[in-house]
Structure 1
């Protein structure tokens, strides 16, 4: 574990707690935790910061997934298949990441997110429970979810990454006609798969501060458990509000990284 002060550790623990809550509700917890780690560990190599972040995130994501699975109507077989496709896609994205400029990708992602925010605002019914539409989901749509949502967003996660959980929630809602709570639950299972693949790679490279990750993971798990229970209790309207907030925060962060 790197040499850090108790104050820094306390602030990182708070960031991990809040990130777990955000990630469990709608994804995007990395928007908070990763910058916090970069600030709190200014001398650490970037790979160690990224690896430690994955070591923390996988615990919270797994905890949220378990909470959702107990109470949300998740199609587990489809979720696991999407997760395996996402794992493969993220490995492929990581392979090509070195040749892609993030400066080129950021404006594209910002435009896509702004379009998403406008769509959610203009479609109040998006992500609400509609059993008729859900029952009409065909085998072809499930295959599209595995290939396009799993493989495509998994590839994006390995290539660039910011907002992966949020994109998963939106895509699963659109393709499989899930309500936002069920989409969040399914996204957690997919996220566990992608985080596991990334963590295994960082661990093999010795790029994880395991002691720090273990401490922060406790707080991340607590935040994730509370967030998942709140989402289940408050329903899709609550998730929709958090979704819009996270999307706009992600746009602001990408804009800052691009032009600051």
Structure 2
């Protein structure tokens, strides 16, 4: 591979790890870089390699968060179990369902999320324990585990962002705790999808492991910054990533 391509992939992996650790959405950077580097490679192999890269960074960020923030275990672990199954099912369906039909729906949801966050500036800045009713806890498990897990296996980009929004809006976690909790669930979604891609032979292992090291570096920097700077920082990055996700999906839809 050309030195320029290697440099592009390494830079993208570090940046994707940072974004994923703070608010999710690292696929915005990693997937385009892989597509540029491997234009003739089947898309499934690119998606599988992205999952291999991402799971290391997400897992390392989850460990870092766990040392400084207590996640909502009553939601996180049941959701992680469902997310493993949901993402595997989504990955298995990836070839049967046209993502083009889903993009407009996802774009509308993202725009609604952006408006919601802007109009509710207090959301996620402080925790809201009264929202953690039994019904809301079950809803959070189902939405983050099955719903978002399936989305991650099927399409992917923005999964961590959706997880954070769901956890803050449904059960009232602050943004930092939601980000810490989301990393555990996101690790499970990455693993579920990766297993399916690997069984289908759709993973470029050598380049994926190399990029995983870079992804871990970015994830560690991002997790420490989020813990140090707090919920306001996470909220600002979240809004930027949501806007970029809408632009990315719009380009894919109308290109």
RMSD: 1.4
More off after superposition, 148-157 vs 248-257: 148-157
Ranges in structure 2 where 5+ consecutive residues have no aligned partner? none
Pair 1:119-2:116 in alignment = yes
**Does residue 1:203 correspond to 2:198, yes or no?**
yes
CA distance in 2, matches of 1:136, 1:193: 25
2:103 equivalent to 1:81: no
Q: Are 1:183 and 2:178 matched, yes or no?
A: yes
Q: How many residues align?
A: 255
- 2:245 maps to 250
Instruction: Give unmatched runs, 5+ long, in structure 1.
Output: none
Query: Are 2:5 and 1:8 aligned?
Result: yes
Aligned residue number for residue 145 of structure 2: 150
Partner of 1:169, secondary structure, is helix
Higher mean alpha-carbon deviation, 80-89 vs 94-103, is at 94-103
**What's 2:169 paired with?**
174
| C-alpha deviation, 1:206, in angstroms | 2.2
Instruction: Measure, in 1, the Cα distance between the counterparts of 2:21 and 2:233.
Output: 13
Deviating beyond 4 angstroms after TM superposition, the runs of 4 or more aligned structure 1 residues are none
Q: In structure 2, do the counterparts of structure 1 residues 247 and 236 end up closer, same or farther at CA, with 3 Å as the change threshold?
A: same
Q: Please, what TM-score do these two structures have when normalized by structure 2?
A: 0.95
Partner in structure 2 of residue 92 of structure 1:
89
In the TM superposition, residue 150 of structure 1 has moved relative to its aligned partner by 1.3
Question: 1:41 maps to what in 2?
Answer: 38
**Match in the other structure for 2:216:** 221
Describe the shift of the 1:95–1:53 C-alpha distance in structure 2 as closer, same or farther (beyond 3 A): closer
Distance of aligned partners of 1:89 and 1:127 in 2 relative to their CA distance in 1, 3 Å threshold: same
Scaled by the length of structure 1, the TM-score of the pair is 0.94
Distance 1:191 1:109, change over 3 A: same
